[in-house]
Amino acid sequence: MSGQSMRRSVAITGVGMVTPLGLTAPESWATLCEGRSGVGAITLFDASGFRTRIAAEVRGFDSSARLAGCRHVGEVPRAVGFCLAAAREAVADAGLDIGADPESVGVSIGSAAHLPTPEELLAYAARCNGHGYDFTTHGLHGLRSEWYYQRLFQTASAFVAINVGALGPNYVSAAACASGAQAIGLGMRAIRRGEATAMVCGGCDSVITPLMLSGLCILKSLSRRNHDPAGASRPFDRGRDGIVLGEGAGVMVLEEWEHARRRGARIYAQLAGYGTSANAYRVTDVPRYGDGGVLCMQRALVDAGVLPERVDLISAHGTSTPQNDRAETAAIKTVFGPHARRLLVTANKSMLGDTVGASGAVELIATAFAVRDGIVPPTINYESPDPECDLDYVANRARRVPLKVAVKNAFGFGGINTSLVVMRARSGTRAAWDARREPAGATERPCAAL
């Protein structure tokens, strides 16, 4: 194919967010820059008996207004509602007319995990006779299909595609905390390969539920800083003690560069690189030096054709667990060498909490804003340095600094990692750095079997 050497570039042309920091993308971005925490006491249910009683909830989401006219079945699951709202916002923001060519536009949405609701469990329990279910007396009456859709991973991606009217490639990304980032990486690849002109990509999750909270409390992965909700998520700080749950959705419109330019779309930034890897270490722990993180950052940089020294900012996975933040810091040092001391590292989860399947997408949108505006949101609650985390984490106050290249990390449970590379869109310069380099993976590779 003659198109190989002139690889298509991918532009971010629309964004939408529903997060604990705001109900739209601009609102969420403004709050991130102010350095405000979205964490508080859990209000979605009575969590007063749990070890962990805090989370970053989405507040004030008016689903009837945001989802007016949407097609869906029955009551929309909370996460899917956030996702539909964010997708609408992103498509409107991009000004993209999907109806003009529905088959050329795809959807790629990720989420992490789904458990049954207490309501569904009760309905089944009522029909259980000790050994098995008895559906002869009550029948299927009262068994609501929404309970099932709520648990299916593909619901969000399907509902978004139906509502924006996109018949192109449809991905259901399920890579735990990397789900949103993987969804965006897949969307970028689909455009690059010419399989789609535009992709509506992102992630959503709402895991602040009684069962999920129970399950995570058992695993002891959550912060117990209940007395100080706003200070609970403290990535890279010595006092960090675990994840603070969040919820929300982030969706962006990715578009083939020339297509975006021709129709005069506003371009937030270029999405230039995607890399994945597996730690192959332990399911519930990360290797001390973050080997898998090293591999996926390197792969994303190679994919983007960018030397490590060109990177100005890393939007860290930064979960605020002792293990992740140490390993991620070590991985950054390995990838960037002496340059690690010069680049900036920021952890949006300090304010957003861990929005799980949405995090990769929400934080990537924040990275696109950062690159566009030249503002790095802070890592808040950074008070006492950890000797093993000794980079510039943009402590507590946003910084204004020109940025050209940024890397977004998202590391999923079990060591399934994703990194993305975002570049500033320079007016008049097509595909900035892309044209200089061969596509990833040179053909001269030796045969591994020899």
Of positions 64, 65, 100, 131, contacts other proteins by CB under 8 A: 131
Question: Is 249 a binder of other proteins (CB under 8 A)?
Answer: no
Comparing CB distances to other proteins, the nearer of 267 and 294 is: 294
Pairing label, strands 105-110, 170-173: parallel
Q: Single out the residue of 283, 338, 384, 427 in contact with other proteins (rule: CB under 8 A).
A: 283
Number of residues located near other proteins, criterion CB under 8 A? 111
* CA–CA distance, 178 with 410 (Å, rounded to integer): 5
- Please report whether residue 17 would count as binding other proteins according to CB under 8 A: no
> Which position among 4, 64, 384, 427 is part of the footprint of other proteins (CB under 8 A)?
4
- Binding residue for other proteins, selected from 6, 41, 92, 121, defined by CB under 8 A: 121
Of 299, 317, 372, 424, which one interacts with other proteins (CB under 8 A)? 299
Q: Is 358 in the site for other proteins (CB under 8 A)?
A: no
Q: Which of 64, 65, 100, 136 binds other proteins (CB under 8 A)?
A: 136
For other proteins, the closer of residues 135 and 435 by Cβ is 135
100 binds other proteins (CB under 8 A): no
Check binding of 324 to other proteins (CB under 8 A). Answer: no
d(CA 285, CA 100): 48
Footprint (CB under 8 A) of other proteins, residues 157-216: 157-159, 161-163, 165-176, 178, 182, 186, 189-190, 193, 195, 210-212, 214-216
Is 19 near other proteins (CB under 8 A)?
A: no
Minimum Å gap between C-beta 403 and other proteins is: 27
Choose among 317, 351, 345, 353: nearest CA to 243.
Answer: 353
Q: Tell me if 442 contacts other proteins by CB under 8 A.
A: yes
Between residue 359 and residue 418, which ones bind other proteins under the rule CB under 8 A? 412-417
Beta pairing partners, 270: 11, 423
What is the rounded distance in angstroms from the CA atom of residue 416 to the CA atom of residue 397?
31
For 3: left if phi > 0, alpha if psi spans -120 to 50, otherwise beta; the answer is: alpha
Is residue 423 involved in binding other proteins (CB under 8 A)? no
Our CB check for other proteins shows the closer of 278 and 435 to be: 278
Instruction: Give the Cα separation of 19 and 86 in Å (integer).
Output: 10
The span of 236-244, 319-327, 329-337, 437-445 binding other proteins (CB under 8 A) equals 437-445
By CB under 8 A, residue 92 contacts other proteins: no
Instruction: Give the residue among 53, 47, 28, 52 at the shortest CA–CA distance from 38.
Output: 28
Near other proteins by CB under 8 A, which window of 109-117, 253-261, 265-273, 321-329?
109-117
* Residue closest to 163 by CA, chosen among 251, 239, 228: 251
Q: List the one residue from 30, 113, 230, 398 that touches other proteins (CB under 8 A).
A: 113
Letters for 38-77 (x = contact with other proteins by CB under 8 A, - = none) are -------xxxxxxx-------------------xxxx---
Contact with other proteins (CB under 8 A) among 223, 277, 320, 355: 277
> Minimal CA–CA distance to 111: which of 129, 131, 86?
86
We find the least distance from the C-beta atom of residue 277 to other proteins, in angstroms, to be 6
**CB 238 to other proteins: min, Å:** 27
Closer residue to other proteins in complex, CB, 139/338:
139
Closer to other proteins by CB, 293 or 377: give it.
293
Cα-based angle 383, 384, 386 (whole degrees, multiple of 5) = 130
Among 11-19, 85-93, 156-164, 322-330, the segment contacting other proteins (CB under 8 A): 156-164
Minimum separation from the CB atom of position 371 to other proteins (A): 25
Q: Name which of 130 and 402 has its Cβ closer to other proteins.
A: 130
* Residue 154 binds other proteins, judged by CB under 8 A: yes
With binding defined as CB under 8 A, does residue 87 bind other proteins? Answer: no
Q: Please tell me the distance from the alpha carbon of residue 237 to that of residue 386, in angstroms, as a whole number.
A: 6
Give the range of 26-34, 80-88, 256-264, 269-277 binding other proteins by CB under 8 A.
Answer: 269-277
Tell how far CA 216 is from the center of its chain: 20
